[in-house]
Homo-oligomer: A and B are copies of this chain.
Amino acid sequence: MNSLAYALLSMLVRKPCSGYELAEMLEVFWQAKHSQIYPLLAKLEQEGYLTPENIEQIGRPNKKLYHITEEGKAKLKKWLSKSPANPVSRDEFLIKAYSLSLTDMNTARNLFEDRMAFYEDKLQRREEMIEQMQAEYGDQLYNQELPVFGRYIVHTRKKLLETQEIQWCEWVINMLK
């Protein structure tokens, strides 16, 4: 059981998902490729933490929805009280930003403008997601006992981060003039 396994379980508490969906949803705290997710889902199924449901679809390939079992939920619960590993962030852009004086103005500005565009796009999706939650739950979003609470605070954290990244890029770009 590694962190990714718990990440998958935590997503499946909310609702049954396919591996494809999970790969997208995992973006928020543990990026992983489908080639890592599918084998791990099979392993978690084998260990009794998940049960698959085959969904036949028209106009699309069939899919497997994984449901979390009681054992899966218990396993996750137990893990939650242990102190988490330190966060890891690896960012090539920051290496380049660190060495900015080695490049010319144009390269520098492009680097930051691309970064800003990337986070502006992310922020827009994030805001749509949060608006959807607000429309669905209203004030109940702040009810810490509801399952949506955790999802709400995590996406809010990401929204703050994305907003701040854009502001920081603006600050740097203004200095580059």
Contact = CB atoms under 8 A, between A and B. Distances in A.
Interface of A: 3, 6-7, 10-11, 13, 28-31, 73, 76-77, 79-81, 83-103, 107-108, 111, 114, 118, 142, 144-147, 149-151, 153-154, 156-157, 160-161, 164-165, 168, 172, 175-176
Given A77-B102, A80-B107, A89-B91, 7 more contacts: A13-B102, A29-B98, A30-B94, A86-B118, A87-B94, A88-B89, A161-B161
Given A3-B95, A160-B168, A107 B83 contact: no
Question: Main secondary structure on chain A at its contact with chain B?
Answer: helix
Given A98-B10, A108-B144, A175-B144, A90 B156 contact: no
Q: How many copies does the complex hold?
A: 2
A137 to B, nearest CB: 13
A144 B100 contact: yes
A76 B102 contact: yes
Contacts of A13: 99, 102
Contacts of A164: 160-161, 164
Contacts of A161: 161, 164
B84 A30 contact: no
15 contacts: A6-B95, A29-B91, A29-B98, A73-B102, A80-B111, A84-B91, A87-B90, A87-B93, A87-B94, A88-B90, A97-B153, A101-B146, A101-B147, A153-B172, A161-B161
Nearest to A157: B168
Contacts of A84: 91-93, 95-96, 111
A25 to B, nearest CB: 10
A145 B101 contact: yes
Given A99-B76, A147-B101, A3 B90 contact: yes
